[in-house]
Structure 1
Amino acid sequence: MADKLLGVLILTRHGDRAGFYQDPKTYTASGTAITPLGTKQEFQLGQLLRSMYLNASSPLNIQGMNDTLVNQNQIHVRADAGGELGVIYDSAVALLQGLFPANANYTQDLANGTDVQGALAGYQYVPIESVEPTNDVSLEGYTLCNTFNDATTAFYASAEFAQKKNETSAFLAMLPPYLDGRPVTLENMYNIFDFMNVQSIHNADFAKALPPTFLPQVRALANWHEYGVFTSANLDGAGNIAGRAILPGIIANLRSIANATDPLKFAYQSLAYKPFLSLFNMTGVAQAHPELAGLVNYAASVAIEVRQPNDGSEPVIRLNFKNGTDASFVTYPLLGGSGDVTISALANHVNPALVNSTTQWCTACNNTQDRGCGALAQAAAAALASAPAAHRHQPISPVGAGFLGAGLTVAVMLAMFAVLTFLGCLTIGRGKGKARRAGTPSSKSDHDEKA
């Protein structure tokens, strides 16, 4: 049994937002905005996480983590800056205000003898890496992914989908009066649910007029629809692309937390709902608990704890999930087991399906143009074109082919690095984001710590 909590990785869905629309095939989304309710939900989630993991009297207290003024070496934060624009980033800002509230001890002595407190009564500016999908595919692996689009089209053309259409046609025919002209099709199910859900929260007249069973029925269909789109039976299936792209960063964070020489203790990623579906599917959680095979609520949170067993063996991980503001954290075993699993066990299970680089994503998504794939293709073509003519046209032995292949691989990689360096192209994982919040300097008492 684990007796020491080394740290935690937090994954959260954004808070309440205004409605938006996303293409039912490509999932290209229009912009939206976070609401005051959404910021409050995330702030309260941050407060809850603080009470659990940064409270010395809590049984889940992370030993050695600074719980007063943030130590930037101990925390790593990333936020998806894709289709829902500032909603996900703003959710991270609100959560971090609850996790690390303003601190009156955030002060500094100046040379003229005055003592200055930080702005907003000591507000703490925790750095947030803004993950732009055009620069980093890790948090939105499904965007502009041709194989994902093809898999979605195939799902819509399947016998399973046709059967569901037939079963639900009578119910869908009753929805147009409540949808403000939106297409009432099973393919458009998420947009139907999103409109009705947003209106039910923010429009009193709509909430009063909507029959009480309609929203739960629409939610159930949206759950089925989105799980069908964002999962695959095979780990390396196109439907799992959201999970396949985000898992390398998750595993890297978990390993950093488990590494006694690495200062990281708290990792946090602010996300859309899509990766949760793939993650629960790929880790066996949804299969064992079908209630998780669907949409997660606003401010839902996964907390993956890294624990050190009493016997000093390899650290293990434990997944806890809280489905929105009114729920509590519940532990769900990973990989079909009944208890904690090692990081190696998780990594070995998913490794064959992981998308670890932009190059792998371009191949997995059959894309030669977008998100840096065009630059990679040009670099490869340039490297091949620069190979000596004799190497390109003369037949060679299998042994010679092996040496030539190795040489061309090196040439291709060098050309790729040159082109990508020039263009400032993509990364996976801890890549550069366009926006980061300025860090909090150390306090007087922590002056010797790196901010």
Structure 2
Amino acid sequence: MISVSSSRLQPSLWPPPISFLGVLILTRHGDRAGFYQDPETYDATATVITPLGTEQEFQLGQHLRSIYLNSSSPSFISGVNASFVDQTQVYVRADAGGELGVIYDSAVALLQGLFPANANYSSDLANGTIIEGALGGYQYVPIESVQPSEDVSLEGYTSCAPFVTANNEFYASAEFAQKQNESAEFLSLLRPFLDGRPVTLENMYNIYDFINVQSIHNADFSKALPPTFLAQAYTLASWHEYNIFTSPQLDGIGNIAGRTILPVILSELQEIANTSNPLKLAYQSLAYKPFFSLFNMTGAAEQQPELAEIVPYASAIALEVREPAGGGEPMIRLNFKNGTGSDFVTYNFLNGTGDMPLQALIDHVNPALINSTAAWCAVCNNTQDRGCGALTAAAANASAAAVLAATPRHQPISPVGAGFLGAGLTLVVVLAMFGVLMFMGLLTIGRGRSRRAGRTASPTNSNEKA
């Protein structure tokens, strides 16, 4: 567990001299079974959430409810329906990539704590019967399952050749060789505990993950492992992963996890800040990788080096959207909960102190953002996977139509007619191309945002009580 000094907490004034508009929450999934991810490509095998993981996320949801959905809390979101889920006010996304159901199931468990069952969720039937919702009024909160093959926003790093190249360059670097020499003795001592797994610094995350999972779920293993080994492995794995998922340059390939998720984050923050938009609480359930890039790109890890470490299970970022009393530009506060054994702490970012203007965050990261699948395909030199094949084919068809239109024909057709024919063919291909891309959701990152913007409020059942 990473220790966080209480001195990081910013001074509070209650009541705060601001209008609290809403919050965007980013969480890492809960405890899961072990898995393996390739140290070069970061393609991962599937795994499953554990009962402990569901309880961690449920408790996190309860804690978030006590902060943001409790009318007696100083951070209560004004105007939010805290009793029943209003789908115009709440928007949830969950990564459905390498760890599959673990991240989605974590979101389900968290939402049970955030919006618990309410016995007042009932309706009167025509025959006079009153029916209570299933499971004591269980609330079914819609979750957008983000499939990496259709939306690159939550896993921008997989199927990305320059990312793999950068990883191999890191493994071949003098810095890596030095760390390898420094850790060689420790790695050799780990070998008896790894059940035949490769004991190399390149494989450090998988080494740490294995002993961490075993230390939690295997009593014999936990007793046999020397007391300092887990912490040492954690430190090495954090160094490894921070170097993989960050870059010194804002638009560096190591930051790709942040560069693809930030367009969605900024869009949601802007929606919350827009008082004419009903969105008040957005939530994204993630793997640990985007946390590295986000803390690096916002400068938070530079100002607080403890953030350059693997976030534990059920960690959470809460980006609070605030408006100064009397009006003014929206401000963002970065709060972070470092796993299950800590509470939310306010961190500095963008080389400033405390709250920062939303526009300052937008201006800072905007040059590095990857806003569309087409942009991601170009950055990752990919012409086949994750929608890039459809884009490549559409571009080829449009090019072929243009060549066909410009090619001389021997048929007796006038130049004017040929021009109309060529233009018509090109238009048909282009329209077909855009139709396919729009249908497949390939033109923008974050497929659910435009659908949500036009959603109307859900009708309130007459028997639902606050």
TM-score by length of 1: 0.91
Partner of 1:179: 194
The partner residue of 1:261 within 276, 282, 300 is 276
1:336: Cα distance to partner?
1.1
Partner of 1:210: 225
Q: CA deviation at 1:415?
A: 5.2
Match of 1:237 in 2: 252
Q: Counterpart of 1:56? A: 71
Structure 1 contact 317–340 (Cα < 8 Å) conserved: yes
- Taking every aligned residue pair, what percent have the same amino acid on both sides? 68
Alignment match, 2:95: 80
Q: How many residues align?
A: 428
Shift of 1:444: 1.8
Q: Shift of residue 420 of structure 1?
A: 2.6
- Residue 151 of structure 1 corresponds to which residue in structure 2? 166
Distance 1:413 1:340, change over 3 A: farther
Pick closer, same or farther for the CA change 1:88–1:409 going to 2, 3 Å.
Answer: farther
Change (3 A) 1:57 1:392: farther
Name the residue aligned to 1:371.
Answer: 386
2:293 is aligned with 1:278: yes
Question: 2:267 corresponds to which residue?
Answer: 252
Aligned residue for 2:46?
31
How do 1:298-317 and structure 2 match up within 5 A?
298-317=313-332
Deviations 1:14-49 (A, max 9, x none): 000000000010010001000000000000000000
Q: What SS does structure 2 have at the residue aligned with 1:331?
A: strand
Q: What amino acid does structure 2 have at the position aligned with 1:126?
A: V
Asked if the contact 1:308/1:314 (under 8 Å) is kept, the reply is yes
The letter for the 2-side match of 1:161 is F
Separation in structure 1 between the aligned mates of residue 48 and residue 364 of structure 2, nearest angstrom: 37
Shift in alpha-carbon separation, 1:297–1:410, aligned structure 2, 3 A: farther
Q: How does 1:87-106 map to 2 (within 5 A)?
A: 87-106=102-121
Q: Which runs of 5+ in 1 are unaligned?
A: 394-407, 433-438
**Unmatched segments (≥5 aa) in structure 2:** 1-15, 409-424, 450-456
Cα pair 2:24 2:318 within 8 Å, conserved: yes
Counterpart of 1:443 in structure 2 is 461
2:28 aligned partner: 13
Q: Specify which of 358, 369, 373 is matched with residue 373 of structure 2.
A: 358
Q: 3-state DSSP class of the match of 2:321?
A: strand
- Map of 1:416 onto structure 2: 433
> C-alpha separation between the residues in 2 aligned to 1:293 and 1:79?
23
Conservation of the 8 A alpha-carbon contact between 2:124 and 2:463: no
- Name the CA distance, whole Å, in 2 between partners of 1:220 and 1:68: 42
Which whole-Å CA distance do the structure 1 matches of 2:112 and 2:48 have between them? 19
User: How far is 1:214 from its partner?
Assistant: 0.7
CA distance in 2, matches of 1:413, 1:17: 46
The amino acid across from 2:184 in the alignment is S
Per-residue CA deviations over 1:218-248 (Å, capped at 9, x if unaligned) read 0000000000000000111100000000000
Give, in angstroms, the shift of residue 4 of structure 1. Answer: 1.5
Q: Secondary structure at the match of 2:23?
A: strand
Give the structure 1 partner of residue 5 of structure 2: none
For 1:405, the equivalent position in structure 2 comes to: none
Q: TM-score, normalised by structure 2?
A: 0.88
Q: Report if the CA contact (8 A) 1:43-1:96 is conserved.
A: yes
Q: In structure 2, do the counterparts of structure 1 residues 410 and 292 end up closer, same or farther at CA, with 3 Å as the change threshold? A: farther
Q: SS state of the match for residue 131, structure 2?
A: strand
Say whether residues 1:334 and 2:349 are aligned partners: yes
Deviates more, 1:306-315 or 1:85-94: 306-315
Q: Equivalents in 1 of 2:294, 2:323: separation in Å?
A: 24
For the Cα contact (< 8 Å) 1:145–1:366, is it kept in 2?
Answer: yes
Whichever residue aligns with residue 169 of structure 2, its letter is: A
Residue pair 1:81, 1:133 contacting (<8 A) in 2 also: yes
**Match of 1:224?**
239
User: In 2 relative to 1, CA 231–416 (structure 1 residues): closer, same or farther, beyond 3 Å?
Assistant: farther
Instruction: Supply the RMSD in Å over aligned alpha carbons.
Output: 2.2
Counterpart contact for 2:89–2:280, Cα < 8 Å = yes
**Deviation sequence 1:391-439 (CA, Å, 0-9, x none):** 699xxxxxxxxxxxxxx9999864531343566657511349xxxxxx9
Verify: 1:429 aligned to 2:446, yes or no: yes
The answer as to 2:55 corresponding to 1:40 is: yes
Pair 64,80 (structure 1): closer, same or farther in 2 beyond 3 Å: same
Q: Offset of 1:385 from its aligned partner?
A: 1.4
Partner of 1:115 in structure 2?
130
* Residue of structure 1 in register with 2:143 after alignment: 128
Shift of residue 128 of structure 1? 0.4
Are the structure 2 counterparts of residues 67 and 384 from structure 1 closer, same or farther at C-alpha, using a change threshold of 3 Å?
A: same
In the superposition, relative to structure 1, how do residues 246 and 64 fare at CA in structure 2: closer, same or farther (>3 Å)? same
